[in-house]
């Protein structure tokens, strides 16, 4: 069997910069709803956390699939012909082009995974659009 040789730290990564991330702690550091915060980045994708409460807007993303992972609470994602109900520990992938409207009657905490180019309101630009996303 052909095996690739393992190189020791070929990219010269400073191991001291590799840290765990405590998601619950990140979530205590902000209060705003519908304003995702960046908590990590890998392979041109951003890892974000957000708090949702109430209704968002129906929107779609032309070029990006979206991942919604529920940490606490219940998240509903309304699609054109059905509504997903996500509980803590569950996630859904919304393929590009699919209209979706997240909503949460009670506060819900979510993790999002999407390319850096993704706008939270997709093809809509309105007062809910967040363009300058904080890193926390
Ligand atoms: Ni979206």
Residue 83: per-residue pLDDT: 98
Q: How far is the CA of 107 from the centre of ligand 1 (A)?
A: 18
Q: Which residues surround ligand 1, an ion (CB under 5 A)?
A: 66
For residues 74 and 109, what is the distance between their CA atoms, to the nearest angstrom? Answer: 8
Q: What is the mean pLDDT of each run of 10 residues along the chain (136 residues)?
A: 79 91 96 94 92 95 94 98 98 96 98 82 75 80
Per the confidence metrics, is the pTM higher than 0.75?
Answer: yes
Note the CATH number of domain 39-136: 2.60.120.10
For the chain, domain boundaries: 39-136
Q: How far is the CA of 129 from the centre of ligand 1 (A)?
A: 11
Q: Can you tell me which residue has the tokens 């995974």?
A: 113
H-type alpha helices, 1-136: 23-28
What does each C-alpha distance from 76 to 54, 71, 79, 83, 109 come to in angstroms?
10, 13, 10, 7, 12
Q: Which two tokens stand for residue 123?
A: 């093809």
C-beta separation of 118 from 60 below 8 A: no
């Amino acid at each position: 069997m052909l095996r690739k040789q393992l190189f020791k730290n070929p990219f010269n990564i400073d191991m001291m910069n590799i840290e765990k991330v405590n998601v619950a702690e990140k979530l205590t550091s902000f209060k705003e709803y519908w304003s995702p915060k960046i908590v990590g980045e890998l392979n041109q994708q951003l890892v974000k956390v957000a708090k949702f409460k109430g209704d968002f807007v129906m929107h779609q993303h032309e070029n990006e699939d979206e991942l919604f992972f529920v940490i606490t609470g219940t998240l509903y994602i309304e699609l054109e012909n059905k509504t997903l109900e996500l509980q803590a520990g569950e996630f859904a992938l919304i393929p590009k082009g699919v209209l979706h409207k997240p909503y949460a009657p009670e506060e819900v905490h979510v993790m999002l995974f999407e390319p850096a180019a993704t706008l939270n309101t997709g093809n809509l630009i309105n007062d809910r659009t967040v363009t300058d996303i904080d890193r926390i």
